[in-house]
A and B are shown apart, each in its own frame.
Chain A
Amino acid sequence: DGGITQSPKYLFRKEGQNVTLSCEQNLNHDAMYWYRQDPGQGLRLIYYSQIVNDFQKGDIAEGYSVSREKKESFPLTVTSAQKNPTAFYLCASNGATDTQYFGPGTRLTVL
């Protein structure tokens, strides 16, 4: 089955700790995205990548970092500089059209 997978489903972070969220797609899509979703708010763009080895900051990139070493993978690291990381994180991708397809999400909680 083609699709987007995210892991883990739930993640807990201690103060001062960096954590990495995984996103993998087998849709052969060039572009991949990371969003953050907070209760009562729309999706906010963290980072996006339109091609391997290239990525751009979105609207709320501070405290986050990404890499794009392979077409199918776009991991997101939440660093200790992100002061309010508790949220639902969504990965998405798109191919030839603007229609984005989403993974199942990772819920990050800071302890």
Chain B
Amino acid sequence: EDQVTQSPEALRLQEGESSSLNCSYTVSGLRGLFWYRQDPGKGPEFLFTLYSAGEEKEKERLKATLTKKESFLHITAPKPEDSATYLCAASSGGTSYGKLTFGQGTILTVHP
């Protein structure tokens, strides 16, 4: 059974204090690793897709990386507007095309 685990459950940072969120996955044949941002009461917003170990993608203060067992979302010099829940998901060759397995999310709070 595919599993995705995110840590920590919650992270509180001061503005400008860089940190990383972790996403560990156990899937049969990773097809893609996905990161989303979700604001309270809204649908998840797509951030990144990573396909193979060693791949990195960046967007503003966010950088996602991928190894064979986990993915990291690095946040550099965060601002209060980066506060949100960050969701990680994986698709695998062991499931029907397009099905994603989600982690429980990391709630990020950035204080000014």
Interface residues of B, count at CB 8 A: 25
Q: Once the chains are docked, how many angstroms separate the CA of A8 from the CA of B39?
A: 19
A4 contacts which chain B residues (CB < 8 A)?
A: 43
Of residues B9, B87, B99, B104, which shows the largest number of chain A Cβ atoms within 10 Å of its Cβ? Answer: B99
Give the bracket for the number of chain A residues in contact with chain B: 20 to 34
Is there contact, CB below 8 Å, between B87 and A42?
yes
Given known pairs A90-B43, A90-B44, the reply for A100 and B104 (CB within 8 Å) is no
B49 contacts which chain A residues (CB < 8 A)?
A: 97-99
Given known pairs A97-B49, A107-B41, the reply for A42 and B104 (CB within 8 Å) is yes
B99 to chain A, nearest CB (A): 7
Given known pairs A41-B104, A42-B102, A50-B97, the reply for A101 and B41 (CB within 8 Å) is no
A33 contacts which chain B residues (CB < 8 A)?
A: 98
- A-B pairs with CB below 8 Å: how many? 64
Is there contact, CB below 8 Å, between B46 and A101?
yes
Q: Once the chains are docked, how many angstroms separate the CA of A31 from the CA of B98?
A: 8
Q: Once the chains are docked, how many angstroms separate the CA of A45 from the CA of B2?
A: 13
Proximity string of chain A (58-82) to chain B, C-beta cutoff 8 Å, 1 when within and 0 when not: 0000000000000000000000000
A residues sitting closer than 8 Å to B (CB atoms) are: 4, 6, 31, 33, 40-45, 48, 50, 56, 88, 90, 94, 97-105, 107
Apart from A45-B100, A105-B41, A105-B43, 12 more pairs, CB < 8 Å: A31-B97, A42-B4, A42-B103, A43-B87, A43-B89, A50-B98, A88-B41, A98-B49, A98-B100, A99-B46, A102-B43, A102-B44
7 contacts across the A-B interface (CB closer than 8 A): A33-B98, A42-B103, A43-B89, A98-B91, A98-B100, A100-B100, A105-B41
